[in-house]
Structure 1
């Protein structure tokens, strides 16, 4: 295909118009030759030379050959079966094998092919060209310290400062980032007329690749893992909406507000399904709603998070985070606003059967919840000031936890490549990298990303080298990790598995000991009550109170307070007596002074 382009230029841009006229020859300059220089040159006759007193210009154009690419796929099936043979049917394949083996040429073919294969096998046994002779040798160098560097910074182009609440990586490579922007501060006075969110190209931090225009500010957003052009967003008014990058910036589908959440939709997660059109959402109104993009007018299914299993919405716990593993399609976990962690099963027929184990969780909202990528029975939760690692075998307490931080934690995630590493963000703008095999009392690496609170993070999969962090002022920072933070060692997975198993056994032993002590204390209290049925009730009540550690601690506390009060009263009394004594001495001195004067007179 020929490509032509016409270049146009105004007449005024060429300069003053040149007008040629005829006139006689005029000598402008006459420079005689230098006889000294003429001896150094050889004269030629004739000599022709073209001279111009202006700069020479040239114009060139070329049409390059267009390079066209195309994708081709091959449907590979087992063996070279004929068209009339279904390789998935054992009866047909066995009959075809027996028929082929009975043919006359089968034996001759196998013998001739066997000689070739035998010759190749002997050659391979003599020299193995793929043998690695140095795989057991370890390099005699010191491993470098872990580090991270900032790659790009993506700033919200709008002048109104909004927090970057959620980040989603492009499903097919680390090429794009979808970021939702929303101000979740209570009774904030900012102008919410601008509600756009963006899709950023990781190579272009100056301008968003696409503006997303929802019906309400987006609290969360997620790329569809099966259709990279499709995204689902949870809105501040409780609705959910679907975006398609091929159809523009506006939402192509959105739920009806009367069938949506009553609070902001804090999390949306795509489900593992054949169609790739199903997802579910969570909100602090106490509901989990399942949706299908083919019909967003109403949810497919609803779950009320009432841990008493009575289905009462007034008793439901508000959902803040969701955890869903595609390899376990029927199970999911919910982190609540009240700090509890609820394990659910979608196979249940009603809400009571869908709600399973309830873990105690944190003292505040659970901001992040994720299963370990390699050990699915263990999961991580982030809330208040700590990170806790749980095991599904232990329902009453976690198996590992971090030391309480000075600043509150806001988000966390496991590394997709290294089994022992997870990441957390804090309110002081710090990104912490924890390696539980290296040390548990402090992070392995702390990075001061920004000087404002960080609200979210998301690690790029499957390489785990890039970490995107969103801040309160809408700045998204892309951080690249060093090799030793994203490349797993040979025995790391086994060591982490052993650590989790060991901590689970320790927690089980401690739980069994505590249960045995409580049972023994209950039995002893019951036996004493039976034997001393006629004993004074006040004495028995005091013994039971002493057995309760909380009441004992309160009693000791008030005892210390009373002693401190008595000490202060005694000090005040002594000070009053001392002041009175000094006042009495002064009065006696004053009375004695006139008497002395009179005696002198």
Structure 2
């Protein structure tokens, strides 16, 4: 049988490695030295030569010959026409044919674009209408009120006031920055002219409320409540001035704070002065009436005696406060006109909100017969109830309609840049007399 066993180790030394190491030698090699030399070469002489064709003897020589000028005849001609030329130059200098013409290197644009379509879905689900819009003092925030213009519920008609900051990054047109629940329909809205966060509203119940839009919790800072001294009818319009007048519409003159124009249900605008400013009767002059209630008035920001009115007859009247008859009567719509506003940038431009769901821009400098452009806002969905120009950014126009939507329109330069003769044209309109 096999058994395990161990044997001592055996080592064998390498004879090749020891012999190899003794024969190693170091060697080196180098090529022979290479000779180099440098030399420069330069020419000693140079010569230029030109080649030209010979001129033919029969070549045309009209342009080669010196022009002969009859200096005596030229002087005689200039002396003869001098007086006539000076006369025409003086005539052109006094002419106004090119007054108002200015070189504009930018391409003129007459387009109107809809920048934003703002809405509050919960108000739309309740079929509430936009009753009023207003821009704040900075021109960055637009507010709208919701309610019903044709009627209202004194106890259960809940409504809203919403604001959007159009300069906020990530603007959501269907998610307002601020939503205020109001227990009664809000019929009118107006931001404070210098404090951007203060917003006043007139309710269907007759109350007046002031909100501070910078406060997200309990923004109400003042309200009149319902007492014997407050309104007992809906407040359809708000304005800041020296007196409060309860009528269907009103407009204070921005150039004369003691003068305001009011519109009554009978259709006649009235020129008034607040009772504190004079001891006479507040109504100084009654103007030719519309064929129905006056829904809106707007005093010109460029002329102290001009104002616009519109109403249920679909007409816009241009009035002078110095005479009862209108200077112009423009039939803009076959339905009601709910609002009219002068442009803060163009003396001859105004906008009107029509019952057909259209916003008309009218340029009296271009035509007194038809609108310059008509923007279809809510055609087939109800009238446009309200509109306001942005005084800080006059290229922006906000309009609210019966579908519960506020559209912000961007006007092109043609509707925002004032012409050189525009104020003079406005003065000519104001000086016209109607019997």
Q: Which aligned pairs between 1:258-337 and structure 2 lie closer than 5 A? A: 258=227, 259-271=229-241, 281-282=244-245, 288=246, 319-337=247-265
Secondary structure at 1:422's aligned position in 2? strand
Contact 1:199–1:212, Cα closer than 8 Å, also in 2 = no
Secondary structure at 2:323's aligned position in 1? coil
Cα separation, partners in 2 of 1:209 and 1:137, compared to 1, 3 Å: closer
Alpha-carbon offset, residue 351 of structure 1: 8.6
Residue in structure 2 matched with residue 223 of structure 1 by the alignment: 191
Alpha-carbon offset, residue 449 of structure 1: 1.6
Within 1, Cα distance between the matches of 2:238 and 2:298? 14
Within 1, Cα distance between the matches of 2:111 and 2:263? 32
Alpha-carbon offset, residue 401 of structure 1: 1.4
Alpha-carbon offset, residue 213 of structure 1: 2.9
Cα separation, partners in 2 of 1:351 and 1:268, compared to 1, 3 Å: farther
Residue in structure 2 matched with residue 489 of structure 1 by the alignment: 419
Residue in structure 2 matched with residue 179 of structure 1 by the alignment: 144
- Unaligned stretches of 5+ in structure 1? 1-134, 273-279, 283-287, 289-318, 512-601
Q: Which structure: greater helix fraction?
A: 1
Residue in structure 2 matched with residue 201 of structure 1 by the alignment: 165
Contact 2:377–2:407, Cα closer than 8 Å, also in 1 = yes
Residue in structure 2 matched with residue 237 of structure 1 by the alignment: 205
In our comparison, the structure showing a higher alpha carbon Rg is: 2
| Counterpart pick for 1:257 among 215, 218, 226 | 226
Contact 1:150–1:477, Cα closer than 8 Å, also in 2 = yes
Residue in structure 1 matched with residue 19 of structure 2 by the alignment: none
- Unaligned stretches of 5+ in structure 2? 1-99
Secondary structure at 2:425's aligned position in 1? helix
| Counterpart pick for 1:449 among 369, 373, 377 | 377
Within 2, Cα distance between the matches of 1:331 and 1:137? 36
Alpha-carbon offset, residue 206 of structure 1: 2.8
Within 2, Cα distance between the matches of 1:191 and 1:238? 13
Within 2, Cα distance between the matches of 1:499 and 1:337? 28
Residue in structure 2 matched with residue 363 of structure 1 by the alignment: 291
Within 1, Cα distance between the matches of 2:108 and 2:277? 55
Secondary structure at 1:353's aligned position in 2? coil
How far does the alpha carbon of each residue in 1:389-448 deviate from its partner, in whole angstroms, 9 at most, with x for none?
Answer: 0011112x1011113522321111111111111111111111111111111111111111
Contact 1:211–1:249, Cα closer than 8 Å, also in 2 = no
Secondary structure at 1:268's aligned position in 2? coil
Cα separation, partners in 2 of 1:442 and 1:462, compared to 1, 3 Å: same
Within 1, Cα distance between the matches of 2:159 and 2:198? 19
Contact 1:373–1:414, Cα closer than 8 Å, also in 2 = yes
Residue in structure 2 matched with residue 295 of structure 1 by the alignment: none
Q: TM-score, normalised to structure 1's length?
A: 0.51
Does residue 168 of structure 1 match 2:96? no
Within 2, Cα distance between the matches of 1:493 and 1:191? 50
| Counterpart pick for 2:366 among 438, 454, 463 | 438
Contact 2:255–2:303, Cα closer than 8 Å, also in 1 = no
Within 2, Cα distance between the matches of 1:191 and 1:442? 44
Alpha-carbon offset, residue 245 of structure 1: 2.2
Q: Which aligned pairs between 1:553-564 and structure 2 lie closer than 5 A? A: none
Within 1, Cα distance between the matches of 2:335 and 2:277? 43
Within 2, Cα distance between the matches of 1:355 and 1:191? 36
Residue in structure 2 matched with residue 343 of structure 1 by the alignment: 271
Question: What do you get for the CA RMSD once the two structures are aligned?
Answer: 2.6
Residue in structure 2 matched with residue 382 of structure 1 by the alignment: 310
How far does the alpha carbon of each residue in 1:62-94 deviate from its partner, in whole angstroms, 9 at most, with x for none?
Answer: xxxxxxxxxxxxxxxxxxxxxxxxxxxxxxxxx
Within 2, Cα distance between the matches of 1:143 and 1:463? 18
Q: Which has the higher contact order (CA 8 A, sep 6+)?
A: 2
Q: Which structure: greater strand fraction?
A: 2
Within 1, Cα distance between the matches of 2:163 and 2:393? 21
Cα separation, partners in 2 of 1:348 and 1:438, compared to 1, 3 Å: same
Q: TM-score, normalised to structure 2's length?
A: 0.69
Number of residue pairs matched by the alignment: 325
